[in-house]
Chains A and B, each alone.
Chain A
Amino acid sequence: AAGVIQSPRHLIKEKRETATLKCYPIPRHDTVYWYQQGPGQDPQFLISFYEKMQSDKGSIPDRFSAQQFSDYHSELNMSSLELGDSALYFCASSSPTGGSYEQYFGPGTRLTVT
């Protein structure tokens, strides 16, 4: 079965640079969630989209922005990167309107800021 795809899987950036993370949800899933997981921590909700509209916002810094496109893939844009942004970034998708509330996670993007 098709799973959530994220790219890139690994990314190394320097402080103050920008990064773009991409997420391709499971086919026919209309809802995308972004989570950040720091070392030894639990995932923290950043932002979510439903039908290309932002549906909720969590602890996402103002330096970050995200959007969902017409093909339902989503991108997380991160600017003025800081050392503390080093983390695993997961995307998850679900299809509540299709009766599937389970959130399936992608493999994650490991971002390292040096």
Chain B
Amino acid sequence: GIQVEQSPPDLILQEGANSTLRCNFSDSVNNLQWFHQNPWGQLINLFYIPSGTKQNGRLSATTVATERYSLLYISSSQTTDSGVYFCAVESPKAAGNKLTFGGGTRVLVKP
């Protein structure tokens, strides 16, 4: 099956700093989503971005499908950005909806 790798595994930021999280995937995908998992475990949708670039406030994401990677940018980080960020993909070879998740990037933003 498709493999998804995220880097770095851990990231410590000072409030106000910018950061880039990376997601590499091993095969073509027809869906890619970024999530933020809050301390209570809920996965919050950030972006649906199988290709191209999107922005939402201080967050933006870019997926280069031909090179099999996606980037999530966090600008002017805030303590509320702390948590685990997951990238998840769907392979066109899988029937139905089936997300394969990366291992996540744990982000800690210090005040």
User: Is chain B a partner of chain A in the same complex?
Assistant: no
Chain B residues near A (Cβ < 8 Å)? none
Q: Residues of A at under 8 Å CB distance from B?
A: none
